[in-house]
Structures are given as structure tokens and as C-alpha cells.
Copies of this chain bind each other. A is one copy, B any other.
Amino acid sequence: MTTTAQCLSAYKGRSVLITGGLGFIGSNLARKLVEIGDVEVSIIDALVPDQGGNLFNIEDIKSRVKVQIADMGDDYVINHLVGGVDYIFNLAGNVSHLESMLRPQHDLELNCAAQLTLLEACRNFNPYVKIVFTSTRQVYGKPIYLPVDEQHRVMPVDINGIHKLAAENYHQLYHRVYGLRAVCLRLTNTYGPRQLVRHNRQGFIGWFIRQTLDGGVIELFGEGRQRRDMNYVDDVVEALLLAGASESAEGEIFNLGGTPVSLSALAGELVSLTGRGSISPVPFPLERQLIDIGNAYSSYQKIKTALGWSPHTPLAQGLAHTVEFYERNRTHYWEPDANTVRRSNAAAPGD
């Protein structure tokens, strides 16, 4: 795309910090920036267990990125790291909805306290830096109309959503009050290579893929009738880069989004793509149902109009790339011995 090509040149000769850069989306972004060439890429990631950070995600580009394993909430570290960078892609955070209900204070540390530390560091030591913050469609809660646009009322249905909303508010506040050049993207379900698939607490797509490749059973709560939209990670990376390169995006909130698909259709697609796995409807577990949001998909009209972004990877193609990746790199994303670890294998439809 012309738009993207123009935007990519904005990063040439620049310095970029990615928080949570060893995770799923962060590492795909880092790879893209390395591919552009002449971009100084730094990563901070705490490798919080079960959050998706994985050194293998950057194994083949590790000589071309600087990695700091540290907590973003540590102001000594972050005050130093933000100095002199041109762009911050702020992807660090707790991403599990269910875990946030079990350990709310931990979620508060990762999604609020650490965000304040980063923003205070920018305000004090790099007030002209551009910041792209990844939030989540989850802040809207149970949709009252579909597709959900940016005017939809926010009503988070779990602790994670409350804290992501607070972190969005921080970014918007620091923009209004201190002129910090921050933009927020509300991501929908993202899938693709390098996503954590070891457990089912980080979105249903990775877990469905995992179950299929293991020849297991995809358990669908409520028969999988919920319809969700999904973005392939390369499309999300493109949106991040477009938002970072655009001055007019500063202070704005943009949805990403795509064509809605039912969970049962997604599962069917995966089973037919791989020729493995099977599908089984199961009753909705109470703790999931309480934070489930039913059908949910977003309008991406605002970012399409403002920045020219649309998702352009067809689901079948994105899934094929993803499956191929995990087949090739299975050992780095499965448990050391998957057979000895038994977990509930139904997906998290709240995601």
C-alpha cells in the first residue's frame, strides 16, 4: 500500500522503543522495524510468566535489537530508556481477563502503575516522544450496538478492562495537559505467529490453533455462536506504524476491527485447514460467563478515514500462515512436555 510505504519511511534513521517487545504483537512489530532497515529498535520486557513474552520471538533478529529485561514500573530503568527515543510503542501489560479477576492488584501494577511510570518518565525526560498505546475493545464491555464504534459507551466487564481504560485515560490526559504526543488503538482479537498458545487465558484463537495442531478437541462454550472479529498480526503492526507516523492521530482513539466470524466457523475453518482436531460444544463455565460479552466486533471506519488503514489479510490466509509457523516452531511455544500438563481446554470467549 502506498500509504504504508510512505509511513514506513518516517521510521528510517529513528530510534524506537517497544514496551512488551518480546510478546506477540511487540515482537512482530520489532521484526517489521528491523526489516524496514536503519531503525534503532529497543525492547523492554519483564518476561512476566504466562504473559506471552518469549525470547524465541526475536531469536533471528536478536543481533539487531537491544533488549532490556526489566519491569516497566521500575523508574530507574524506564527513565533511562525513554531518553532520546523518537517513538514508543507501548504494548506492555497484563492481557488476561480471567487472571485479572483472580489477581486484581497484580493487574493494577502491570496495567496502571507501570503505565504511570512510563508516562511520567516521558513527561520529565522526553516530552516530544510519540507514543502509541495499545488498548482493547474490551473497554466497551457488552456491546449495546454493533459494530462498536469509538462513540460507544465504555463499561468494562472485568478488572483488566477497567485498568486498560484507566491507562487510556492516562495517555489522553498527558496529551491534553502536557502535550504528550500519544495515540490509543483499541485492538480487537489479534492472531498470528508468536502468540502465546500454551494456555487458554490469552484469547481463543491461539488456543483453538493449539488444540487443532494437537489433534485435540476445541470446546465451544454455548456452541460457539458468539461472533467476533479478528485481525492478523501483520495488519495490526501496520496500524501501529501508521498511527505512530501520523501527527493528526495524536490525542485520538482508534478502533481496529474486521469482519465478524462465529467461533464455531473459526473452529471449523481450522479443522478443515489442518485436517486435525475436532469440535465439541460444552456448557458455559460460570466464571467465564460472568465476564463474557456475547457478540462483539468493531467498526474501523474512523482509522480507515483518518489513516487509510484496513485489514487486508483474509482469514484463511492468516490462519494458514499461523498454522505453518507453529508447525515449524512448535517446540518454542508448547510446554516442555505437553502430555504431563493437563488444563481445562476451553477457550476464553471474553477475549
Chain A residues in the interface with B (C-beta under 8 A): 101, 104-105, 108, 112-113, 116-117, 120, 153-159, 162-163, 165-166, 169-170, 172-173, 176-177, 290-291
Contact present for B108 and A177 (CB under 8 Å): no
> Contact partner of A156 among B104, B162, B169, CB < 8 A?
B169
Given contacts A112-B108, A116-B108, A165-B169, contact A101 B158 (CB under 8 A): no
In the complex, A36→B162 CA distance in Å? 38
Contact present for B166 and A163 (CB under 8 Å): yes
Query: What are 5 pairs between A and B in contact, CB < 8 Å?
Result: A104-B120, A105-B117, A108-B108, A108-B113, A116-B159
Given A158-B173, A165-B165, A166-B166, 18 more pairs with CB closer than 8 A: A101-B177, A104-B120, A105-B113, A105-B116, A108-B108, A108-B112, A116-B159, A153-B153, A155-B172, A157-B176, A158-B177, A159-B170, A162-B169, A162-B170, A162-B173, A163-B166, A165-B166, A165-B169
List the number of copies, as a whole number.
Answer: 2
The closest CB in chain B to the CB of A142 belongs to: B176
Residues of B with C-beta under 8 A to A166: 112, 162-163, 165-166
Contact present for A177 and B290 (CB under 8 Å): yes
Residues of B with C-beta under 8 A to A104: 116, 120
The interface centre, meaning the residue of A116, A162, A165 with most chain B CB atoms within 10 A of its CB, is A162
